[in-house]
A = this chain, B = another copy of it.
Amino acid sequence: MSAESRGLPLAVEAAAVPPRTKPSNYPEPFFSRMLKREKRALGDQFGLKNFGVNLTRLWPGGESALLHRHSKQDEFVYILEGRPTLITDAGEIELAPGMCAGFPAAGVAHHLVNRTDRDVVYLEVGDRTPGDTGTYPADDLEARLGADGRWLFTHKDGTSY
């Protein structure tokens, strides 16, 4: 089975991959907080299923996600450009190009925030272990990964948005 026969490229220029058209899956008021973020789904270009890799850009004032942790999925980021602040519920640290951070399942809650006046660009990796849930310590939100691979978001009391 060749890559060409399945219409897959051997390699791509990451910055040339079109950005995701839907800025976020969050319901409002969280959706609007993600409008200074742009994601290019690199792994999907090659038909990867077990994990995703995005090239993500945060404009000044942008954030990677809400402060969150996953129950089963691991995450990893590697900074390519700019100086985002990694905010966690165990402290915060300014990152720089060449730095990386990893977030094991059920570990500290985390997100990246661009407090600078220059863009931040990073690679993010996350696996796709089924049955995952997202916990958001700072916001009235919970997420559950459905059997169809889509996230279902509710208030913390279980009511829908």
Interface positions of A (Cβ within 8 A of B): 1-4, 8, 10-15, 42-43, 45-51, 53, 73-74, 76, 78, 86, 88-93, 95, 98-108, 123, 125, 127, 129
Contact = CB atoms under 8 A, between A and B. Distances in A.
A103 B49 CA distance: 10
A47 B104 contact: yes
Contacts of A95: 11
Nearest to A88: B10
Contacts of A93: 10-11
Given A49-B105, A51-B74, 11 more contacts: A1-B108, A10-B90, A42-B76, A43-B76, A50-B51, A50-B73, A50-B127, A50-B129, A51-B76, A51-B127, A127-B127
A113 to B, nearest CB: 14
- Which label, helix, strand, loop or mixed, suits the secondary structure of the A interface? mixed
B53 A106 contact: no
A154 B78 CA distance: 36
Query: A15, A46, A91, A129 — which one has the most chain B CB atoms within 10 A of its CB?
Result: A46
A74 B48 CA distance: 6
11 contacts: A2-B108, A11-B100, A46-B103, A46-B107, A47-B102, A48-B74, A50-B73, A50-B105, A50-B127, A50-B129, A53-B76
Contact of A101 (B11, B98, B101): B11
Contact of A49 (B50, B53, B104): B104
A100 to B, nearest CB: 5
